[in-house]
């Protein structure tokens, strides 16, 4: 039975108890709670931008109005990349909680690469759009929303780069990786915002 559990990578009862205790202490951490409150303020910030977008959009008939076109297909690929980065981030967090340095480093490295890839493809999309913010109400709100999100992805990528360097230097332990947890929470927030943004702006 022991060999079967090991083969399936099932945590031992002691390990599960340790992880549960760590997560309980995490929820009581002022730093973690501070990040939760910061994300709450960011939700309100994005909410104000989305409010402006919805007002502009529903005050016109055809969408996107003004004869503009937005690339749904290529941005869909970019969306898949960003969504996949949430899974690699989760892998990194799980590896950290179990003291597995290799998984932590690989997870962070892949997440960082996908985040930077997302930004690169977003810049490429901007170059190929054929319109700029000064061309009208729709371009203004489009660039404002996607640009605000892009700024958050850049901040997240910076945090990931710092976490990656620290992981390579062995700075994280199974019971001491608060900074990584905060980075992961922020990155998941960035991903969720983009899924909503892509659905609303590109698909609906």
- Kindly report the CATH number assigned to the domain that includes residue 151: 1.20.120.80
Helices (H), 59-100: 72-97
pLDDT > 60? residue 22: no
Q: Which domain holds residue 171?
A: 26-203
- The CA-based angle 15-184-42, given to 5 degrees, is 140
9 belongs to a structural domain? no
Tell me: the pLDDT tens digits for 125-171?
A: 999 888 888 888 888 888 999 999 999 999 999 999 999 999 999 88
Band (1; pLDDT cuts 50, 70, 90):
very low
pTM: 0.82
Give the chain's end-to-end CA distance (angstroms, integer): 51
Phi and psi at 131, nearest 5°, equal -145, 160
- DSSP per-residue codes, 110-153: HHHHHHHHHHHHHHHHHHHSS--GGG-HHHHHHHHHHHHHHHHH
6 belongs to a structural domain? no
pLDDT > 90? residue 25: no
Tell me: the pLDDT tens digits for 66-85?
A: 667 788 888 999 999 999 99
Provide the domain count of the chain.
Answer: 1
């Amino acid at each position: 039975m022991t060999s079967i559990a090991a083969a399936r990578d099932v945590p031992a009862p002691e390990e599960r108890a340790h992880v549960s205790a760590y997560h309980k202490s995490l929820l009581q951490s002022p730093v973690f709670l501070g990040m939760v409150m910061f994300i709450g303020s960011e939700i309100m910030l994005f909410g104000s931008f989305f409010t402006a977008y919805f007002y502009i959009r529903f005050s016109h008939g055809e969408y996107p109005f003004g004869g503009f076109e937005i690339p749904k297909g290529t941005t869909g690929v970019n969306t898949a990349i960003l969504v996949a980065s949430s899974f690699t981030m989760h892998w990194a967090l799980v590896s950290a909680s179990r003291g597995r340095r290799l998984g932590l480093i690989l997870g962070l490295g892949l997440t960082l690469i996908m985040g930077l890839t997302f930004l690169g493809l977003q810049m490429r999309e901007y170059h190929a759009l054929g319109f700029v913010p000064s061309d009208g109400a729709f371009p203004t709100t489009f660039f404002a929303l996607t640009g605000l999100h892009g700024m958050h992805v850049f901040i997240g990528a910076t945090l990931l780069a710092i976490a990656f360097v620290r992981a390579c230097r062995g700075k994280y332990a199974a019971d001491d990786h608060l900074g990584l947890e905060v980075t992961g929470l922020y990155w998941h927030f960035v991903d969720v915002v983009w899924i909503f943004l892509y659905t609303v702006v590109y698909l609906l």
